[in-house]
Amino acid sequence: MTLSRRNLLAGAAGSAALATTVARADDPAITELPDWSVYLGDGVDAAPYGVPSEYEADAIRRDVPWLTADPVSSVNFTPLHKLEGIITPNGLCFERHHSGVAQIDPTEHRLMINGLVDKPLVFTMEDIRRFPRENRIYFLECAANTGMEWRGAQLNGCQFTHGMVHCVQYTGVPLRYLLEEAGVRTNAKWIMPEGADASAMTRSIPLEKALDDCMVAFAMNGEALRPEQGYPLRIVVPGWEGNMWVKWLRRIEVGDEPWHHREETSKYTDLLESGKARRFTWEMDVKSVITNPSPQAPITHGKGHTVLSGIAWSGRGTVERVDVSIDGGRNWTTARIDGPSHTKALHRFYHEFDWDGSPLLLQSRAIDSEGWVQPTKDALRAMRGTESIYHNNSIQTWHVRKGGEVENVEVG
């Protein structure tokens, strides 16, 4: 990048000047002994289940109270600006419930498979754990993620604009094994997972997808599912709308037609300017966002070497490339993807540059293994209008001011 070469030289000259002219005061963090270097800390019995440092109290899920009428049918957001790598810690995975968090005794939980099968079956959790298991890392994104931004920049923070996504390692059983156990009839084309909570969530899923890569999962990131993520059992529908990943899974019906239930008619259909709505828009499109810097994570170190970091994902495969712009989309540089690249999982990207302290307009643009390219907001709105609610995968712009403060903006 030509810009950074020039900046690099200027920056190097600047810091050399600093080193020779400023005599630094001694750092008390080094010259004075802190308490933790003198006194004993807690013993191994203090925290049977560990929690983060008290200095990380900011790394929490947050909600937007005015979005919904009642917190039991609402959503909170993953603090993306506080996270590293590609795995979301279990306690920080965003939540969306329609009737609150069901608290289920696993010994009382059953999974039924009925409908177009030879043998309708009932499984206990113990039965499910006796099938061969698989471990898979997948992102889960709510189709309404970034939905508040269709009409224009609204929420100041990637936690709120993009925080309805998380990525964990699931342990579970390929759904295929359970369906084969029940014997799927030849005229079957669809399945319908159903939840055991008070919303009894349902979605129609094509049988082809169910037999391809769907799982029933009982663990996330190595431990049992959290109650808010569907303990003791949820269905995993890789790359597809989070709403389809039914939690507290109690039943799977096999059928020959879709059910057209509330969550695939009234909700999760994408209204276009023509007044017609797309339905069954299952795949989550290729998308990325810069998590640092971002409105909740301003640049505090002043000009000089700066690490830009972000996440990218696609419901259609892996992320092949992420381009980054610091001038509002005029010029782009390919970012560095670091860490594992799993299909339908988060990818972590970095762009290191020398900040000259002038205002920046940061953007990221992801391209997936199928060749789909993350669109600009203008391109998406020109095609779909502003009333789709769902599937807003457009390019986000952050405005970095001179002082390092960052805000959510649109450019034109």
Residues 6+ apart with CB under 8 A from 79: 58, 59, 60, 61, 62, 92, 159, 163, 296
Residues 6+ apart with CB under 8 A from 244: 193, 203, 205, 235, 237, 282
Q: How far is the CB of 254 from other proteins (least distance, A)?
A: 11
List the single partner that 277 binds among other proteins, ligand HEC, none, CB under 5 to 8 Å by kind: other proteins
Q: How far is the CB of 140 from other proteins (least distance, A)?
A: 20
Which residues contact ligand HEC by CB under 6 A? Answer: 69-70, 73, 98, 199, 262, 266
Question: Hey, how many other C-beta atoms are within 10 angstroms of the C-beta on 70?
Answer: 8
Residue 396 touches other proteins, criterion: CB under 8 A: no
What letter represents residue 155's amino acid?
L
List the single partner that 15 binds among other proteins, ligand HEC, none, CB under 5 to 8 Å by kind: none
Residue 280 touches other proteins, criterion: CB under 8 A: yes
3-state secondary structure of 2: helix
Site string for other proteins, 229-268 (x = CB under 8 A): ---------------------xx-x-x-x-xxxx--xx--
Question: Hey, how many other C-beta atoms are within 10 angstroms of the C-beta on 384?
Answer: 20
- Side-chain half-sphere exposure of 60, counting CA atoms within 13 A: 9
Provide the greatest CA pair distance for the chain.
Answer: 84
List the single partner that 259 binds among other proteins, ligand HEC, none, CB under 5 to 8 Å by kind: other proteins
Q: How far is the CB of 288 from other proteins (least distance, A)?
A: 13
CA-CA distance, 365 to 319, in Å (whole number)?
11
List the single partner that 8 binds among other proteins, ligand HEC, none, CB under 5 to 8 Å by kind: none
Residue 198 touches other proteins, criterion: CB under 8 A: yes
Residue 5 touches other proteins, criterion: CB under 8 A: no
Residue 212 touches other proteins, criterion: CB under 8 A: no
CA-CA distance, 372 to 316, in Å (whole number)?
9
CA-CA distance, 196 to 230, in Å (whole number)?
9
Q: How far is the CB of 304 from other proteins (least distance, A)?
A: 23
Q: How far is the CB of 267 from ligand HEC (least distance, A)?
A: 6
> Total binding residues for other proteins by CB under 8 A?
97
Residue 57 touches other proteins, criterion: CB under 8 A: no
Query: Contact with other proteins (CB under 8 A): which of 8, 52, 125, 127?
Result: 127
CA-CA distance, 35 to 26, in Å (whole number)?
19
Site string for other proteins, 144-183 (x = CB under 8 A): --------xxxxxx--x----------------xx-xxx-
Here the tokens at position 284 are 């989550």
